[in-house]
Homo-oligomer: A and B are copies of this chain.
């Protein structure tokens, strides 16, 4: 069953998702109103509901596509590559995502802050097993003496925390730095952190 869409459908659906991402990522699910989304998308509320059956549906579709792109960088961690290079590359990819997709990062943060009511299963399922797998890879590297002995789970958490911080807490970071672009400095600093940490 292939879904065919007219150009208008294509355009309006993506305008709605774009607007929804804007608003949901700032106010969370409950704090967002359909009127806000409709306004941001340049549509009337009934017209918006012609393309999506409910507020839930918009949010669900956003979360779904988010989860895919969110796990991709970790998937790409290659057990046959050079260990430290692989991890530093992962850090870089995650930092790039914070720079290029800050709204996605905040949408995810909002969902987790609320206790992950809509993606709890993905966390204990898909996410956990992916992390378990990659933690094993890192354990292998440690055993082979290629990487310093660190807890692989907390290593992964720290990569998430440090990179997503620049998207989720952007306002705070910029307030403290006085408005300068934080990312060049962040990249240098994170490289330094993980290089010194992981050197065997």
Q: List residues of A whose CB falls within 8 A of some B CB.
A: 25-32, 106, 109-110, 112-116, 120, 123-124, 127-128, 131, 148, 150-151, 153-158, 160-162, 164-166, 168-169, 171-173, 175-178, 185-186, 188-190, 192-193, 196-197
Contact = CB atoms under 8 A, between A and B. Distances in A.
A36 to B, nearest CB: 10
A151 B189 CA distance: 7
One complex includes copies of this chain to the number of 2
Contacts of A29: 31
Given A28-B27, A114-B27, A192-B197, A175 B106 contact: no
A172 B112 contact: yes
Contacts of A169: 109, 112, 157, 160-161
A158 B112 contact: no
A158 B193 contact: yes
A29 B169 CA distance: 17
A168 B193 CA distance: 22
A158 B196 CA distance: 15
